[in-house]
Amino acid sequence: MKKQFGIACLFLICLNQNAIAWSNKGHRTIVQIAKSHLDPYTIDNVNSYLNGMSWEDAACWMDESSNDKFQQSMKPWQFTFIEKNKSYAKSQQEDLVNKLEYCLRMLELKSLQSNETMNETLKLLFHLIGDIHQPLHCGYPQDAGGKNVTCMYFGKPYTLNQIWENEIIESKNIDIWSCTKMLTSSSFSLKRRTDAEKIDVSFWLSDTRSTLNMVYQYQNNKIDQNYIDNSAVIAERQMLKAGLRLAKVLKSIFGREY
């Protein structure tokens, strides 16, 4: 029995080397939140570069690219791992922070870019801004952002990253409505709303990492309903922030100039 459990755990860990940050539902929800906070002019400007692709499909493009070699080359862009109690140190590495900052610079220089470059950069932005708000994608190198941590949930083994990328969202049915309800919640203060609209990738990273202590608050490698309930609040808040920040970025680049 122990041998079978070990094999199942190993299978899950190997399978999860290609783990996404949020599930497709999570990434789709984030761009829906962003779009709901934008005016038609800005939306039309963004649409002009998406070539008929929906915002939801654009947000999931990184995980669904038909070019397997190119998709694999994009994997390092989706994470920034930092030792516990350490700060992010700038480097030349193509990690999540550097790639997001690159996307912002490219979009700010949109008049110099081809339509093809703008199309790809927008798809990267839509996805990566979701990734940087998923706590474990800004987690610790020791466990590869929860991919090497196996927990039992309803009697089945999952990696911690799988719990965060999919199980919390599905079990609590998190969507645009549950996330945007937080805007009227007392837990989403004016300061949080102001912070949520900052365009600062380094701040987004540190803000997300501030949730990691809660992410690891489980006992004996077991995930119970109390953990799911508490984590769902964090997930909804993170997805809401991602949507608001994406809206702020798009408005600053594609909105009306007054």
Structural domains in the chain, sorted by start? 2-62+92-254 (1.10.575.10)
Which one, of 109, 164, 99, 157, lies nearest residue 134 by Cα?
164
Phi, psi of 152, deg, nearest 5: -95, 130
CB-based contacts of 39: which residues, under 8 Å, 6+ apart? 251, 255, 256
8-state DSSP, 110: G
Percent of the chain at pLDDT exceeding 90: 78
**pLDDT tens sequence across 10-67:** 444 444 445 556 889 999 999 999 999 999 999 999 999 999 999 999 999 998 876 6
Q: Which residues of the chain have pLDDT under 70?
A: 1-21, 66-67, 186-187, 258
Could you tell me the end-to-end alpha-carbon distance of the chain, in angstroms, rounded to an integer?
68
Q: What local confidence, expressed as pLDDT, does residue 10 receive? A: 42
Tell me the two tokens of residue 43.
């939306």
Q: Give the pTM.
A: 0.90
Buried (b) or exposed (e) across 129-152, using 16+ Cβ within 10 A?
bbbbbbbbbbbbeebbbbbebbbb
